[in-house]
Structure 1
Amino acid sequence: MDNPGARGDGKKISVLIVDDSALVRQMLSDMISKDPEMEVAGLARDGIEAIRLTQKLDPDVVTMDIHMPEMDGISALEYIMKKTPRPVVMLSALAKKGAPPTLRSLELGAVDFIAKPSQFPFSVNEVREDVIWKIKAAASSRAKEIWERARKAKAPKTVKLRRKAARGGRIVIVGASAGGPMALAEIMPALPAELPASIVIVQHMPGPFTGSFAERLNSKSRISVKEAEQGEEIAEGKALVVPGEQDLAFEGIGGGRVRARLMPTVARHSASPVIDVTMESAARRFGSKSIGVLLSGMGNDGAMGMGMIRDAGGETIAQNEETCLVYGMPRAAVERNLALEVLPVEKIAGAIVNMV
């Protein structure tokens, strides 16, 4: 795993920790203090104190609990992003009831979220690597620039189909990680209901959250969006979200029909579902009819899959650096010359429509 947060200026990444639990504040403080590239800028117990200390201390990154007294994390996040925008990583309970506010925070500009273990006590080693990785990735993100762009952006318009599809049976695999929910909230509403292709969305996200994520996308989209189920048939005009902690591949069921095959993820830590697994399976099953799209995210998941889609004669799109919250996964594909098109997020829906 590469280091997303290393700084060339020699300065440590300063982190403001916001949580109403003294235990969690101490746990995060210990983790951060032990890393040679980071330091604790301050500690806050609620959203009001978070706003005050953000203005006073000017930290590089803020970790923000969602549920707090006085002012919750969502309200504090909104204020910070409007007044003093910077990378914010949310802390959320790893349960379905924690999904809606967490997903809302990602739409409001949070870079990512850290899932709190559901039971105490727990092994610090179980969460330490994920915490450190996400804070460092947030520090290297373009949170301020992307938030300013999002504030000025107009509501996405639906792309019109200008011609009949030259061939049916096309499939679009969209891979995303940190920054993906914000990008998908712009891309999916712009796709027409009659899109002559099937879509599979592989968003790095825990299992309890992907169902709610699919529901949020469905409420904004003209095509149907739902969480994928075992054995579900792949169909045009429908988008499936791969469940967290599982990977999705494709298998034939006769008569040219294809269904989803779900299996336990091969990923470690939070990088699941694995984009490469689904893209590679699409390349083998659909060949030149497959389209790979790689959106904002840390790491290099999806680059190998994009290469297999290219080798199979399919087409590929990568989100450009200027509109990525975290330019990691698209960079890996672009640097290997695996992206046929490198586009700003607002042009990706149009490119997909033109390709199908």
Structure 2
Amino acid sequence: MAVKVLVVDDSSFFRRRVSEILEKDSDIKVIDFAVNGQDAVEKAAKLRPDVITMDVEMPVMDGISAVKKIMQANPTPILMFSSLTREGAGATLDALDAGAVDFLPKKFEDIARNSEEAIKSLQTKVKEIGRRRMPRMALSMTSTRAPVSDTTSRLNTRQIKPTVPQPDRSFNRTAAPVSSSSAASVKASGKRYQLVAIGTSTGGPVALQTILTQLPANFPHPILLIQHMPAAFTPAFAGRLDSLCKIKVQEAKNGDRLTPGVAYLAPGGQQMMVEARGGSKTLKVFEDDSPRITYKPSVDITFASAAKAYQGDVLAVVLTGMGADGRDGARMLKQAGATIWAQDEKTCVVYGMPQAVANAGLSTESLALQDVATRVTKEVGC
């Protein structure tokens, strides 16, 4: 059955362009258009699409407000289109706050090396999101935080309330999950660690916030974060996480010395590697023009460098995301003696990256998103 899509944008040209791209795939059907946020809210309730693509800036009702209303009344996977600007990044993160599952740049050429690859990326993302027909324990990124920019500060004080599951829909978001008693009762392995590394893609911003906001200020190791995200977004995302978390979160810079209790977010469009220099570990952040490397940043590259620098003293976690980035790097970590965990299928927005690791026999545990922070904290002896 084709994935049913509602396309929302005030530009007739962009609505037509998105529709043409999506319907090149026989497994996708655009069922209607909406010209503003209010129109989207009404048509989402009437048509019950599998996926909604949503612009941010629109008349009558903006995309962020529309996402919030749709998620309260008719929870539906929503993919945002955003401009690659500082203001666009802040607004996109606000849309994720409201319940959107992922985003793409409005300029398709910014997400791929050529037009065909960009088209395929959009089609695949829509199908992956639209076919996930089960509940996900994903929190909406909460509102108690410092504003990222003046243009979005007015949106940063709202409170997203838990949604009530609809009887005829399986997609739902809830408020911040509480770790289960079973996770709290599991004993640590006693293994020694020096680093935690987390890789993710689609659905990752919400997943990372779910985990990082639960970590204590005295977390004993540095944390590497590899999130597939454009370069314009990572500074705003790191700043937002830092304002919410007890640990420090920063966008990684070349030469950063890894410090306990600090999470380093790989910059979009670049690669992040760990280098051992004497008794310390530092980060190498660099531009990567290799046509063979699809993801920038790449989980595989960071994981592989961690295996070389730390050997088996690494706890690596692979979270929600499309594709298989992280599998090869996890294999190198595993061979060095590291511990690999993966997010479970039920709580993933897209069960691609964790599934690749699990199917390869590399992960020792499959964890619900709401349990990851509790398990990591206990495992590292914090």
- Asked whether the 8 Å contact 1:107–1:181 carries over to 2, the reply is no
3-state SS, counterpart of residue 94 of structure 2? helix
Q: In structure 1, what is the Cα distance between the partners aligned to 2:119 and 2:360?
A: 31
3-state SS, counterpart of residue 288 of structure 1? coil
**1:300 lines up with 2:324 in the alignment:** yes
**1:279 lines up with 2:303 in the alignment:** yes
**1:64 lines up with 2:54 in the alignment:** yes
Sequence identity percentage: 37
**1:76 lines up with 2:66 in the alignment:** yes
Counterpart residue number, 1:7? none
- Asked whether the 8 Å contact 1:47–1:68 carries over to 2, the reply is yes
Counterpart residue number, 2:155? none
Match of 1:239 among 252, 263, 266: 263
3-state SS, counterpart of residue 327 of structure 1? coil
Residues 96 and 174 (structure 1), Cα distance of their counterparts in 2 relative to 1, 3 Å cut: same
Residues 154 and 138 (structure 1), Cα distance of their counterparts in 2 relative to 1, 3 Å cut: closer
After TM superposition, list the pairs within 5 Å mapping 1:109-128 onto structure 2: 109-117=99-107, 125=116, 127-128=118-119
- Asked whether the 8 Å contact 2:36–2:62 carries over to 1, the reply is yes
In the TM superposition, what whole-angstrom CA distance separates every residue of 1:196-221 from its partner, at most 9, and x where no partner exists? 11101001100000011111111111
Structure 1: runs of 5 or more not aligned: 1-10, 161-165
TM-superposed CA distance for 1:127, in Å, is 3.4
- Asked whether the 8 Å contact 2:341–2:366 carries over to 1, the reply is yes
Counterpart residue number, 2:169? none
- Structure 1 stretch 258-267 or stretch 326-335: which is displaced more? 258-267
TM-superposed CA distance for 1:99, in Å, is 0.8
Q: In structure 1, what is the Cα distance between the partners aligned to 2:379 and 2:134?
A: 30
TM-superposed CA distance for 1:335, in Å, is 1.3
3-state SS, counterpart of residue 233 of structure 2? helix
Match of 2:174 among 146, 151, 159: 151
**1:14 lines up with 2:18 in the alignment:** no
**1:133 lines up with 2:124 in the alignment:** yes
TM-superposed CA distance for 1:332, in Å, is 0.9
Counterpart residue number, 1:339? 363
Counterpart residue number, 1:257? 280
Please, what TM-score do these two structures have when normalized by structure 2? 0.82
- Asked whether the 8 Å contact 2:108–2:118 carries over to 1, the reply is no
Amino acid across the alignment from 1:307: R
Q: In structure 2, what is the Cα distance between the partners aligned to 1:142 and 1:328?
A: 15
- Asked whether the 8 Å contact 2:194–2:222 carries over to 1, the reply is yes
Q: In structure 2, what is the Cα distance between the partners aligned to 1:269 and 1:90?
A: 25
After TM superposition, list the pairs within 5 Å mapping 1:308-347 onto structure 2: 308-347=332-371
Residues 55 and 268 (structure 1), Cα distance of their counterparts in 2 relative to 1, 3 Å cut: farther
- Structure 1 stretch 134-143 or stretch 284-293: which is displaced more? 134-143
TM-superposed CA distance for 1:271, in Å, is 3.8
TM-superposed CA distance for 1:267, in Å, is 7.2
- Asked whether the 8 Å contact 2:134–2:346 carries over to 1, the reply is no
Q: In structure 2, what is the Cα distance between the partners aligned to 1:73 and 1:267?
A: 35
- Asked whether the 8 Å contact 1:146–1:325 carries over to 2, the reply is no
Structure 2: runs of 5 or more not aligned: 139-164, 166-171, 185-189
- Asked whether the 8 Å contact 2:178–2:370 carries over to 1, the reply is no
Counterpart residue number, 1:38? 28
TM-superposed CA distance for 1:108, in Å, is 2.8
TM-superposed CA distance for 1:141, in Å, is 2.9
TM-superposed CA distance for 1:263, in Å, is 2.0
Counterpart residue number, 1:85? 75
Residues 152 and 243 (structure 1), Cα distance of their counterparts in 2 relative to 1, 3 Å cut: closer
3-state SS, counterpart of residue 317 of structure 2? strand
Amino acid across the alignment from 1:343: L
Amino acid across the alignment from 1:61: V
- Structure 1 stretch 196-205 or stretch 345-354: which is displaced more? 345-354
Residues 268 and 45 (structure 1), Cα distance of their counterparts in 2 relative to 1, 3 Å cut: farther
Match of 2:207 among 175, 179, 183: 183
| Residues paired across the two proteins, number | 340
